[in-house]
Amino acid sequence: MLSNISLNHKITVRYLIAVALIALLSTGSYLSFSYLLKNNETTAAIINISGKQRMLSQRTALFSKQLVAANSSVEINEVKSQLAQTVEIMQTGHLALISGSTDLHIPHHHSKVIHDMYFGELQIDKRVKMYIQAIQKLLSSPANTLNTAHPDYLYIDEHFNSLLVDLNNIVTQYQKEGEESVRKIQQMEFFLWLLTLFILLLEIQLIFRPMNKQVLKALGERETYEKRLEKEIKKQTKKLVDANIQLNKLSNTDPLTGLRNRRGLEAKLRKFHKLYTENKNGYSLAIIDLDFFKKLNDNYGHDCGDAVLKKIADALMHYLDEETIISRFGGEEFVLLFPNCDDLTAFNILEKLKEKISQMEIKCEDKLIQVTFSAGITSTENFSNIESSELFRLADIALYQAKGAGRNQIRTYSDSRFE
């Protein structure tokens, strides 16, 4: 028969082993989730930058077309300035995506799929650089050579569509990898739950197994200890579930305004477009751009700029109905989706909204700031069949028509074609 000293020694050793396992489990859980959450943050940053690259490629193509069609030196200089700023941002973003950027939270490594897309058969890296180089050459060309026959313009026009498709594929792949990261968190949660249960069963087997009559007293303590552990497991499991729900929410929400972010918008846009293609449930898409927002930031500071964005977001949620999908697309741009709505109805809604916002006085420190916006609208009703990305591009064209007409205006693509 084991002596009390021997029994106590065995129980102590086994208990220490159990505690060590729990400590290792807790440490492993913390490190694993820290890594996965950090990876998810970088994924969100990558999706944001890569999506912006897609938008910038559209803008550069549009500005290039406007440049060769310009009729005066003033117009040429204005378009050149816009094109130069856009291509510089596009070049910076591309370098960050392929080489990494600490400031933008872009990692220095890629997945094999992404690496192959950039440097393999698709050669997206090379094509983007050649596309940017063509734009830069077009910018440096004498004004008297700028026409639709210019070789650099022809290169841009010829390669834009295929490049846009592959940039969209890059964004899609980044999104898939982001979703895979979320799935890993869910799998890790389930694995840790099973591992915790396994350790609990191991402790019961090694520590509380009846060894002799003296262990009978310990059996009562084991029951209390087991209940406490089960309660803690439920508590920790609930925390993991809540953390996972919060993570999914954060990945689809803009942290400044609380609106949907680009990822959240694209998920809704896919649903809208599926209903459109399958059931012919039409919808309208509008892009809102705050007028002279950069000047506002320069004059009043970025804190005031952030305050303005929050107030505008609040106004959008207040004045638009619950069925309207509202998102912050990036910077000072907001995107609205109007279900079962034609472009005329959407235009009237935005006209009322524009009047309301133009009358707002936003207080920042001791200053009262007033803002206006320009907007571009397009609707599925104007087309027999159209992709959501093309619908987005047409709304963006209408937006630039509104800005080009003096800002604080709204244009639909259907009427912007005739201006």
Tokens of 32: 């694993």
Beta bridge partners of 419: none
- Residue-wise pLDDT tens digits, 45-65: 788 887 888 888 888 889 888
Q: Is pLDDT of 109 > 50?
A: yes
- Residue-wise pLDDT tens digits, 151-205: 988 988 888 888 888 888 888 888 888 888 778 877 787 887 888 888 778 777 7
Collect all residues with Cβ–Cβ distance below 8 Å to 159 and sequence separation of at least 6. 127, 130, 131, 134
Q: Mean pLDDT over residues 88-93, rounded?
A: 89
CB contact at 8 A, 325 and 265? yes
pTM of the model: 0.45
Instruction: Supply the pLDDT for residue 11.
Output: 67
Q: Is pLDDT of 20 > 80?
A: no
**Which among 217, 181, 329 is positioned nearest to 263, based on CA atoms?**
329
Least confident piece of the model among 115-119, 202-206, 276-280: 202-206
Residue 418's pLDDT band (cuts 50, 70, 90): very low
d(CA 315, CA 202): 57
Q: Which CATH number fits domain 262-416: 3.40.50.460, 3.20.20.70, 3.40.50.300, 3.30.70.270?
A: 3.30.70.270
d(CA 356, CA 353): 5
Q: Mean pLDDT over residues 344-356, rounded?
A: 96
Question: Whats the size of the chain, residue-wise?
Answer: 419
Tokens of 161: 């569509």
Q: Helices (H), strands (E): how many in the chain?
A: 12, 7
**Which among 24, 49, 159 is positioned nearest to 114, based on CA atoms?**
49
Q: Mean pLDDT over residues 242-247, rounded?
A: 66
d(CA 213, CA 3): 11
Q: Is pLDDT of 269 > 50?
A: yes
CA atoms within 13 A on the CB side of 137: 13
Order the strands of the 283-290 sheet from edge to edge: 325-330, 333-339, 283-290, 373-379, 410-412
Task: Kindly tell me the burial class for residue 37, based on how many C-beta atoms sit within 10 Å of its own C-beta (0-12, 13-18, 19 or more).
Answer: middle
Least confident piece of the model among 23-27, 34-38, 84-88, 131-135: 34-38
d(CA 280, CA 106): 40
Q: Is pLDDT of 284 > 70?
A: yes
**What separation, in Å, do the N-terminal and C-terminal C-alpha atoms of the chain show?**
100
User: Rounded to the nearest 5 degrees, what angle is found at the Cα of 380, between the Cα atoms of 376 and 381?
Assistant: 105
Instruction: Supply the pLDDT for residue 325.
Output: 96
d(CA 2, CA 22): 28
Of 115-124, 338-347, 378-387, the range with the highest mean pLDDT is: 338-347
Q: Mean pLDDT over residues 362-387, rounded?
A: 91
Instruction: Supply the pLDDT for residue 34.
Output: 64
Q: What is the DSSP letter of 327?
A: E
Residue 419's pLDDT band (cuts 50, 70, 90): very low
4-69 and 151-207 are packed helices; what angle lies between their axes, rounded to 10 degrees? Answer: 170
Q: Is pLDDT of 417 > 50?
A: no
Instruction: Supply the pLDDT for residue 341.
Output: 93
Instruction: Supply the pLDDT for residue 68.
Output: 87
Tokens of 48: 């944001």
Instruction: Supply the pLDDT for residue 311.
Output: 95
Q: Which residue has the higher pLDDT, 109 or 339?
A: 339
Q: Is pLDDT of 384 > 90?
A: no
- Residue-wise pLDDT tens digits, 285-332: 999 999 999 999 999 999 999 999 999 999 999 999 999 999 999 899
Instruction: Supply the pLDDT for residue 35.
Output: 59
Instruction: Supply the pLDDT for residue 186.
Output: 79
Average per-residue pLDDT for the chain: 84
Of 44-48, 283-287, 367-371, the range with the highest mean pLDDT is: 283-287
Q: Where are the alpha helices (DSSP H) in 70-123?
A: 73-99, 112-119
Instruction: Supply the pLDDT for residue 190.
Output: 81
Instruction: Supply the pLDDT for residue 195.
Output: 81
Task: Kindly tell me the burial class for residue 392, based on how many C-beta atoms sit within 10 Å of its own C-beta (0-12, 13-18, 19 or more).
Answer: buried
Q: Mean pLDDT over residues 131-148, rounded?
A: 89
**Which among 317, 321, 323 is positioned nearest to 357, based on CA atoms?**
317
User: Rounded to the nearest 5 degrees, what angle is found at the Cα of 317, between the Cα atoms of 315 and 320?
Assistant: 95
d(CA 381, CA 191): 49
Spacing of C-alpha 389 from chain mean position:
16
- Count of CB atoms situated within 10 Å of the CB of 93: 21
Q: Mean pLDDT over residues 87-98, rounded?
A: 88
373, containing H or E segment: strand 373-379
d(CA 68, CA 155): 13
Instruction: Supply the pLDDT for residue 38.
Output: 60
